[in-house]
Structure 1
Amino acid sequence: MKYTYYIFIFFFVSISAQESVAIKFIDSVNLKSDSLIAVDNFNTVFYVNNNILHKKTNTKTITYNNLQLGDLSDVNTFNPLKINLFYKDFNTVVILDNRLAEVFKIDFNALSPYKNVSHIATGYDNTFWIFNQDLQKLELFDYKTKTNRAQTAPVQSEALDIKSNYNFCWLLTKNYLYTYNYFGSLVKKVKNTGYTALAESNENIILKRDSQLFYMPKDKEKVLPIDTSNLLINQFFVVNETLYIYGNNVLNKFQLKIQ
């Protein structure tokens, strides 16, 4: 009886350990950049070189730089008509249109009350999410009225990354991954087991831990490893079910084979 029991346990553990998300290689392209930002459905590539944002299409490349604001900390291209650039050292966000022309600039140092921002992500309408690290909470900030439309309850650990779409914002901290709706209400809370970065597509989440990626479907908390065959992962993001992995100056494109 004991022998049968151990056979069953071994079989169950083996099946569980094999469960993962496969990827199918599509193609790769050489691309030298300091930081790859995104690739959209039209194969437009956004990347940063020497603190300059580049937007590369099949026909031309246009750029934007603002040397007065120091290092470019983050770029969010979720809405290509309102691209958000965050300059953390100067606590400032610049909003660009699709031609990389500056249309709005928000200096959080000049606001009352002052906001000490560590992360940003796109929101709906004239808003973006900011993480106020003095108050340890997310705020949905209207950059035209310079007021908060929503805010979350404070969290108890360091913010590592945030991503958003028009309906939700995902906050990854050292302790948990939080999901909030656009009212600032907590929708889901999942323990962080060592993840340091995330990407979002159609409310499905990709998480990075060390040199491994993991897939968490929307409305579920089950996390499955993605078989990336030990690729170097400097940046990663997902467009629909296409996974982009950038490392060693090569952009690899894969199809996520999700059952």
Structure 2
Amino acid sequence: MKKIYIVVLFYLPLFILGQNNISVKLIDSITIKTEKFIGKDVYDNYYSISQNTFLKENKSQKLNYQNLTLGNLYTVDYSNPLLLVLFYKDFNSVVLLDQQLNEVQKISGNDVGLIFDIIGLARQNSLWFYDAVNQKFGIYNFKENTFQLISTYFPTKIKYWKSSYNSLNFINENNEAFTLNYFGKIQNLGNVKQSESALIIEENKIILKQEGKLYFQTPENITEIKISQKSFENFCFNDGILSIFTNEKVYNYKINLP
């Protein structure tokens, strides 16, 4: 009889804090009047949503995009500031925008028999997606308007995800972390602590929000990130900068994550 060995990189199952806190240094802050802060890119562009209008602003300009025919704007992928990916889940649609928020392309999952549950930017003119009908992950080529289901059957709901050109990292409803590569291989990384929200930095690095505090989790430990804000609505991390949105202000901190 053949023996099968499974190796899994487990996250800590218990909420154990590391001995040292992660310190941050305030760089600057900016006033932004918005309903929902999305994030800040490497070019100091700030993205947000107000009254279902997508907003992009910096020191020199403020742009907006609105498409009332597609319902509520669900998520925004700004990992490539030159090609923004807007996901309108209620109408099973994706809109691609250029850096001036001009509409480049509109994609409807209904046209190809897919029900998009998550969307993220991949490499080579492609998008990661999870199809709620087949319950599989796939790659959609928006230049050729073709798609391929690449993974095996994966039935659990996805709570958080982060896409990159070569992989899709995500956490499911059971607080299990996974990474998916371009060939459809899914690797289980183990459990992530229950939290109010989670931001995946890399496949084994996650920032968690719990009871108004931020924590940085790796497979080895969980460490508190010390910020001065006692309450905040949202946060993002990009290129060594942690941005905290509270009321109508974004505070940018320099942070060195282990």
- TM-score, normalised to structure 1, is 0.82
The equivalent of 1:92 in structure 2 is 93
The equivalent of 1:51 in structure 2 is 52
Q: 1:244, 1:251 within 8 Å by CA — same for their partners in 2?
A: yes
Q: Which amino acid aligns with 1:166?
A: Y
1:7-156 alignment runs, 5 A limit: 17-111=18-112, 114-149=113-148, 151-156=150-155
The equivalent of 2:161 in structure 1 is 162
CA 1:228–1:254 in structure 2 vs 1: closer, same or farther (change >3 Å)? same
Q: SS where residue 105 of structure 2 aligns? A: strand
Whole-angstrom CA distance in 2 between matches of 1:48 and 1:253: 19
Tell me the number of residue pairs that the alignment of Structure 1 and Structure 2 aligns.
Answer: 241
Larger radius of gyration: 1
CA 1:158–1:65 in structure 2 vs 1: closer, same or farther (change >3 Å)? same
Q: Which amino acid aligns with 1:121?
A: G
1:168-183 alignment runs, 5 A limit: 168-175=167-174, 176-183=176-183
CA 1:141–1:101 in structure 2 vs 1: closer, same or farther (change >3 Å)? same
Q: 1:164, 1:200 within 8 Å by CA — same for their partners in 2?
A: no
Structure 1, residues 59-99: CA drift from partner, whole Å, max 9, x if none? 11111111111111111111122111111110000101111
Q: Which amino acid aligns with 1:171?
A: F
Whole-angstrom CA distance in 1 between matches of 2:60 and 2:17: 47
Q: Which amino acid aligns with 1:123?
A: A
The equivalent of 1:207 in structure 2 is 208
Whole-angstrom CA distance in 1 between matches of 2:177 and 2:187: 11
Percent identity over paired residues = 28
The equivalent of 2:193 in structure 1 is 193
Whole-angstrom CA distance in 2 between matches of 1:249 and 1:207: 22
Q: Report deviation, 1:22.
A: 2.2
Structure 1, residues 97-151: CA drift from partner, whole Å, max 9, x if none? 111111111111121xx21222211111211111222333322221233333452
Runs of at least 5 residues in structure 1 that lack an aligned partner in the other structure? 1-14
Q: Relative contact order, CA 8 A, sep 6+: which one is greater?
A: 2
Runs of at least 5 residues in structure 2 that lack an aligned partner in the other structure? 1-15
Whole-angstrom CA distance in 2 between matches of 1:206 and 1:239: 12
Structure 1, residues 140-195: CA drift from partner, whole Å, max 9, x if none? 22123333345223334321121111122111112211112222212442213214
Whole-angstrom CA distance in 1 between matches of 2:165 and 2:185: 14
**Which one has a larger percent helix, Structure 1 or Structure 2?**
1
Q: Report deviation, 1:37.
A: 1.8
Following TM superposition, where does structure 1 have runs of at least 4 consecutive aligned residues deviating by more than 6 angstroms?
Answer: none
Whole-angstrom CA distance in 2 between matches of 1:44 and 1:216: 27
CA 1:135–1:20 in structure 2 vs 1: closer, same or farther (change >3 Å)? farther
CA 1:99–1:17 in structure 2 vs 1: closer, same or farther (change >3 Å)? closer
CA 1:135–1:223 in structure 2 vs 1: closer, same or farther (change >3 Å)? farther
Whole-angstrom CA distance in 1 between matches of 2:133 and 2:215: 31
CA 1:126–1:247 in structure 2 vs 1: closer, same or farther (change >3 Å)? same
Whole-angstrom CA distance in 1 between matches of 2:135 and 2:18: 37
